Amino acid sequence: MVKEISGNDFDAMVLKAGRPVLVDFWAPWCGPCRAISPVIEALSGEMGEKLDFYKLNVDDSPSIPGSFGIRSIPTIIVFRKGKVAGQITGNVAKSNLKDMIETALNEEV
């Protein structure tokens, strides 16, 4: 299950998390964001034991994506130990997103 977070929750829920976290940076007006949302939801069901899944609305918390150099949405980032471990932008295939997640979980941070 993908949970909505805000900029106020970001440090505690993402950067200080005890396990890996995926964050979907999105906006309600973004067609590709809405298109990839079911894919991320499906992956949360398949991979929820390995990492937490969150969504952050970039319109509500613009400083957070800015601090990671995000210029396009959807951008999906996997964080491990408070650092970016993997990142992908756009409405990508489920297999590409899953590969990025698996690589991020196995890379040294």
Domains of the chain in start order, with CATH, are 3-106 (3.40.30.10)
Query: Catalytic residue at 33?
Result: yes
Distance of CA 22 to the CA centre of its chain: 4
pLDDT tens digits for range 60-98 = 999 999 999 999 999 999 999 999 999 999 999 999 999
Phi and psi torsions of 95, nearest 5°: -65, -40
Helix 94-106 to helix 31-47 angle (10° resolution) is 50
What would the two tokens of residue 43 be?
């992956």
What would the two tokens of residue 87 be?
């990142």
Token look-up 């995000």 returns: 70
Residue 109's pLDDT band, with cuts at 50, 70 and 90, is: low
Classify 98 in phi/psi space as left (phi over 0), alpha (psi -120 to 50) or beta.
alpha
Query: Of residues 106 and 24, which shows the higher confidence score?
Result: 24
In the set 13, 22, 23, 30, the catalytic residue is 30
Q: Give the Cα separation of 56 and 102 in Å (integer).
A: 21
Percent share of the chain, pLDDT over 70: 98
In the set 5, 13, 23, 33, the catalytic residue is 33
